[in-house]
Structure 1
Amino acid sequence: MADSVSRKKLVARIFISLAHAIWMVAFTWLWLNFGPTSSDEQLLIRASTLSKRLLLDIDDDRPKRNELMFVNVAGDVALIPRTDGNGKNIVTDREALANFLSFLKNNPDHYKYILCDIIFDQKDETEEIGPARDSMLREALTDLPRYIGSAETDDNGNVIKGIFPGKTAVVEYRAKKGSGFLKFKLYQGKNKSLPLIMYEDIDKGKMEHHGLAYTVNGKPSFNKMIMDFKIRQKHILDTTFYGGCYTLQSLAELLEVVEFEPGVFDFMKKNKPIVIIGDFTRADVHRTVVGEMGGTLILLNAYLTLTHGDAIISPWLVLLLFGAFFILSYLTFYSLPFTASNAWRKFSHTKIGKFVTGYVSIAAFLIILTIISYSFFNVHINILIIAVYVKLLERGISWWDKRKERKHSVKEEMIQEGPRTYEFNSEDTSMYKPGQRTNSLIRQVSKIGKIGTDKDQDDEVDYQPGKSEQTSKKKTKSSEVAEMNEPKNSQNQNEE
Structure 2
Amino acid sequence: MLWLTYFLLSIPYVLPDEFALVQYSSYVKNLLLGLEEKPDTNRFLFVNVAWDKVMVPKPDPDIPEHVIGEEPITDRQKLVAFLKILDKNPNYAFIVLDIYFKGSTPHDEELVKLLNKIPRVLVSYHRDENDKPDYPDLKIKPISLSDIEKVNEGKCLKFKLLHNDSLKTTPLLMYEHINKQAFSKWGNFHFLDGQPILNSFILDYRIRNFHYVNQKYPKIHLGEWLQFAYKIPLQLEMSSSEVEAAFAEALSEDSLAKPAQEDTLLIEVASDKDSSANESPTSDTSSAALSEIDWEALEKAAAEENPQEDNTEYDLAALDSAFVYPLLKDRIIFVGDFEDKDIHETIYGDTPGPIILLDAFLALENGDNALTVSFILFLLLSYWLITFLVLRYNSVQGAWLQKLLRRKQANFFESMTIYILYFGIISVVSFFLFNIHVGVLALAFYMFSFEWLRKFLLRRFGNRKAPAN
TM-score with structure 2 length normalisation?
0.72
Name the counterpart of 2:230. Answer: 259
Displacement after TM superposition at 1:300 (Å) = 0.7
CA contact (8 A) 1:237 1:248 kept: no
CA–CA distance in structure 2, aligned partners of residues 362 and 176 of structure 1: 25
CA contact (8 A) 1:348 1:354 kept: no
Displacement after TM superposition at 1:182 (Å) = 1.4
For residues 130-150 of structure 1, the C-alpha deviation after alignment (integer angstroms, 9 at most, x for no partner) is xx2323423432302111011
Displacement after TM superposition at 1:179 (Å) = 1.1
In structure 2, relative to structure 1, the CA distance for the partners of 1:28 and 1:350 (3 Å cut) is closer
Q: 2:355 aligns to what SS in structure 1?
A: helix
Higher RCO, 1 vs 2 (CA within 8 Å, ≥6 residues apart) = 2
For residues 305-335 of structure 1, the C-alpha deviation after alignment (integer angstroms, 9 at most, x for no partner) is 1111222211111010000011112223332
Q: Does 1:295 align with 2:353?
A: yes
In structure 2, relative to structure 1, the CA distance for the partners of 1:174 and 1:313 (3 Å cut) is closer
For residues 351-410 of structure 1, the C-alpha deviation after alignment (integer angstroms, 9 at most, x for no partner) is 9x75785133212211111111111111111212111212222232233333347x75xx
CA–CA distance in structure 2, aligned partners of residues 92 and 174 of structure 1: 24
Displacement after TM superposition at 1:120 (Å) = 0.8
Q: What amino acid sits opposite 1:296 in the alignment?
A: P
Equivalent residues in 2 for 1:230-269, closer than 5 Å:
230-238=206-214, 244-260=215-231, 261=244, 262=320, 263-268=322-327
Displacement after TM superposition at 1:264 (Å) = 2.9
> 5+ unaligned residues in a row in structure 1: which ranges?
1-23, 125-131, 239-243, 416-496
Deviates more, 1:369-378 or 1:172-181: 172-181
Q: Does 1:223 align with 2:199?
A: yes
State the structure with more CA Rg: 1
Name the counterpart of 1:209. Answer: 185
Name the counterpart of 1:392. Answer: 449
Q: Does 1:151 align with 2:125?
A: yes
Q: How many residues align?
A: 371
Q: What amino acid sits opposite 1:116 in the alignment?
A: L
Q: 2:184 aligns to what SS in structure 1?
A: strand
In structure 2, relative to structure 1, the CA distance for the partners of 1:170 and 1:38 (3 Å cut) is same
CA–CA distance in structure 1, aligned partners of residues 404 and 35 of structure 2: 43
Q: 2:140 aligns to what SS in structure 1?
A: coil
CA–CA distance in structure 2, aligned partners of residues 299 and 345 of structure 1: 51
Name the counterpart of 1:167. Answer: 142
Name the counterpart of 1:66. Answer: 42
CA contact (8 A) 2:14 2:151 kept: no
Name the counterpart of 2:399. Answer: 340
CA–CA distance in structure 1, aligned partners of residues 177 and 459 of structure 2: 61
CA–CA distance in structure 1, aligned partners of residues 152 and 339 of structure 2: 14
CA–CA distance in structure 1, aligned partners of residues 422 and 125 of structure 2: 42
In structure 2, relative to structure 1, the CA distance for the partners of 1:151 and 1:177 (3 Å cut) is farther
- Which residue, out of 364, 367, 378, partners 1:320? 378
Deviates more, 1:173-182 or 1:244-253: 173-182
CA–CA distance in structure 2, aligned partners of residues 133 and 178 of structure 1: 39
CA–CA distance in structure 2, aligned partners of residues 201 and 365 of structure 1: 41
Equivalent residues in 2 for 1:412-423, closer than 5 Å:
none
Q: Which has the higher helix share?
A: 1
CA RMSD of aligned residues (A): 2.9
Name the counterpart of 2:84. Answer: 102
Q: Does 1:121 align with 2:102?
A: yes
Q: Does 1:185 align with 2:166?
A: no
For residues 428-456 of structure 1, the C-alpha deviation after alignment (integer angstroms, 9 at most, x for no partner) is xxxxxxxxxxxxxxxxxxxxxxxxxxxxx
Q: Does 1:112 align with 2:93?
A: yes
Q: Does 1:196 align with 2:167?
A: no
Deviates more, 1:82-91 or 1:354-363: 354-363
In structure 2, relative to structure 1, the CA distance for the partners of 1:106 and 1:346 (3 Å cut) is closer
Name the counterpart of 1:134. Answer: 108
For residues 187-227 of structure 1, the C-alpha deviation after alignment (integer angstroms, 9 at most, x for no partner) is 11212111111111111111100111111111111111111
Displacement after TM superposition at 1:350 (Å) = 9.5
Which runs of 4 or more aligned residues in structure 1 lie more than 6 Å from their structure 2 counterparts after TM superposition?
A: 174-178, 336-339
Name the counterpart of 2:418. Answer: 361
Name the counterpart of 2:330. Answer: 272
CA contact (8 A) 2:125 2:145 kept: yes
In structure 2, relative to structure 1, the CA distance for the partners of 1:35 and 1:232 (3 Å cut) is closer
Q: What amino acid sits opposite 1:273 in the alignment?
A: R
Displacement after TM superposition at 1:39 (Å) = 2.6
Q: 2:42 aligns to what SS in structure 1?
A: helix
Q: 2:123 aligns to what SS in structure 1?
A: strand
Name the counterpart of 1:40. Answer: 17
Q: 1:316 aligns to what SS in structure 2?
A: helix
Q: What amino acid sits opposite 1:56 in the alignment?
A: L
CA contact (8 A) 1:77 1:93 kept: yes
Q: Does 1:54 align with 2:31?
A: yes
Q: What amino acid sits opposite 2:59 in the alignment?
A: T
In structure 2, relative to structure 1, the CA distance for the partners of 1:211 and 1:337 (3 Å cut) is closer
Displacement after TM superposition at 1:104 (Å) = 1.4
CA contact (8 A) 1:147 1:166 kept: no
CA–CA distance in structure 2, aligned partners of residues 29 and 229 of structure 1: 22
CA–CA distance in structure 2, aligned partners of residues 47 and 337 of structure 1: 26
CA contact (8 A) 2:97 2:123 kept: yes
> 5+ unaligned residues in a row in structure 2: which ranges?
61-66, 232-243, 245-319
Identical aligned pairs, as a percentage? 28
Q: What amino acid sits opposite 2:146 in the alignment?
A: V
Name the counterpart of 1:375. Answer: 432
Equivalent residues in 2 for 1:465-476, closer than 5 Å:
none
CA–CA distance in structure 1, aligned partners of residues 97 and 153 of structure 2: 21
Q: What amino acid sits opposite 2:357 in the alignment?
A: L
Q: What amino acid sits opposite 2:94 in the alignment?
A: Y
In structure 2, relative to structure 1, the CA distance for the partners of 1:79 and 1:338 (3 Å cut) is closer
CA–CA distance in structure 1, aligned partners of residues 82 and 153 of structure 2: 30
- Which residue, out of 336, 340, 345, partners 1:282? 340
Q: 1:401 aligns to what SS in structure 2?
A: helix
Q: 2:56 aligns to what SS in structure 1?
A: strand
In structure 2, relative to structure 1, the CA distance for the partners of 1:46 and 1:245 (3 Å cut) is same
CA contact (8 A) 2:116 2:142 kept: no
